[in-house]
A and B are shown apart, each in its own frame.
Chain A
Amino acid sequence: MRTEESDPMHNDGVGDTRTEQLVREFDHDEAVGEALAGLHEETQKVEVAPMSRGSLLKRAGLVAGGGIAGMLIPASLARARDGGTKANDVKILNYALTLEYLEAAYYAEAVESGALSGTVLYFAMVVSAHETAHVGLLQSVLGAKAVKKPTFDFKGTNRKSHSFLTTAKVLEDTGVAAYQGQAPLIHQNAVLAPAGGILATEARHAAWVRDLLGAGKTVKPAPEAFSTPKSMSEVLKAVKATGFIKS
């Protein structure tokens, strides 16, 4: 079991420079990606005999005491959602992957545009790294079942500072509602745990961009006491309406 000091997942970040935090985030990627690659093996298999939850988690190296104990709860306490299926988990993961493809592309273009500076550029760089890492993580879990990356046209919204921020706010708020909407439907705890971690990260992104926009005056980083979920159909409808996805 790692100590707090050596465990990259235990990260209070309070004393770190932003560069140190960015570096540690990339360490996070490898640990998470490798651990979930084990889960990827499981999702490829045809189910011939039922696999117990305990052995699934052990195969994926996800039991307590493994390198990601700070992120995932111990197997003995884990409980798969009732209802839902592994097949539907694949559908949910691909839905998440589609949204992450969109965000990753959006932010990467924004950073490359040269139009951003200062705290807005810093926001775009950090979030771009996160969304790209989320894409990698989801692709790793899904393996051959991963949907392909669409082509996007962001209509110049990510090439000017203010429209970048207002659009990013919509993307992040939508991402939060999307993950929150799907969480109750996720069947496998090994999928639920990282989904919860990504949900929290997207919520942090959402609050951050709102603070950049309104400094807590006109736009509140946390607009409500209870977050509102959105269904897959509602989110996909809203995404389609943006016209950002070309194919």
Chain B
Amino acid sequence: MSQHTPAVDVSHLAVIDTDGALREAADRVNNPSRRGFLRGAGLVIGGAAVSGLVPGSAFAASSGDVAILNFALTLEYLESTFYAQAKKHAGLTGAYKRFAWTVHEHEAAHVGALQKALGKSAVKRPTFDFGAAVQSQTAFGATAIVLEDTGVQAYQGQAPNITSNAIFEAAISIHPVEARHAAWIRNITGINPAPYVVNPALTKDQVLAAVTGTGFIK
């Protein structure tokens, strides 16, 4: 563990867990490896009972993990800003409106959690221009599908690269939520919500190419 790696606080990414999972987490403390020790520090998993060990604590994360969290944060900035603007300009009604209002809340929560985890290491929110994508309900729907599908593939592609178990668990608590978002908006627009037997993953480069290709990031 390098002395120079930044501290990352993932306690705000904590999800309430069950007794069974807590027991399994405790079992992993007995793993003699260094990373087993870090897992046993009781971050992320569990509510107060477990994180009460070291509430709100930070721990050293690899620079690779920080890069992955910042990659995720960039995508979440993109999504949350997209939804915020669509809510204002796209004239959303009915199911589209319900979707946008709920999903915006989620993406904003993801931004907040990732920013808190990264602290000073967090990248700043870029400037976005969504153009026509947020000017009509139809364009909104089509764009949301692309953004959510890409988000799923991005998290799925990066998760196996994460070295910290706490960050890995946080990432896979977001990944299925993005998949739910993707299926939801697909169903609203009338296309197959679940087009894959096994959802594909994308590499970071593939995701960045797709995102920069949209022209949304200024």
Q: Which of B50-58, B82-90, B132-140, B151-159 contacts A (4 or more CB under 8 A)?
A: B151-159
**Tier of interface size on chain B:** 35 or more
- A78 interface contact, C-beta 8 A: yes
List, sorted by A's number, 17 A–B pairs whose CB atoms are closer than 8 Å: A16-B195, A21-B195, A81-B165, A82-B33, A82-B165, A184-B169, A197-B196, A200-B176, A200-B179, A203-B183, A205-B183, A222-B177, A225-B106, A225-B110, A229-B21, A231-B20, A232-B24
- Which A residues lie within 8 Å of B149 (CB)? 12
B160 CB contact (under 8 Å) in A193, A198, A211, A215: A193
A133:B160 contact, CB within 8 angstroms: no
A229:B199 contact, CB within 8 angstroms: no
Q: Smallest Cβ distance from B29 to chain A, in angstroms?
A: 10
Q: How far is the CA of A4 from the CA of B105 in the complex (A)?
A: 33
B15:A228 contact, CB within 8 angstroms: yes
Q: Is the interface of B mostly helix, strand, loop or mixed?
A: helix
- B48 interface contact, C-beta 8 A: no
B160:A192 contact, CB within 8 angstroms: yes
- B residues with a Cβ closer than 8 A to A are 13, 15-21, 23-24, 28, 31, 33, 35-36, 39, 95, 98-99, 102-103, 105-106, 109-110, 113, 142, 145-146, 149, 152, 156-157, 159-161, 163, 165, 168-169, 172-177, 179-184, 186-188, 191-203
- Which B residues lie within 8 Å of A73 (CB)? 157, 160-161, 201, 203
A222:B103 contact, CB within 8 angstroms: yes
**Tier of interface size on chain A:** 35 or more
Output the nearest chain B residue to A176 by Cβ-Cβ distance.
B176
B169:A229 contact, CB within 8 angstroms: yes
- A217 interface contact, C-beta 8 A: yes
Q: CB-CB contacts of A214-227 with B at 8 A, as 1s and 0s?
A: 01110011101111
Given the known inter-chain contacts A176-B176, A180-B173, A225-B110, please indicate yes or no for A133 contacting B197, CB distance below 8 A. yes
- A residues with a Cβ closer than 8 A to B are 9-14, 16, 18, 21, 24-25, 28-29, 32, 70-74, 77-79, 81-83, 126-127, 129-130, 133-134, 137, 176, 180-181, 183-185, 189, 192-194, 196-208, 211-212, 215-217, 220-222, 224-234
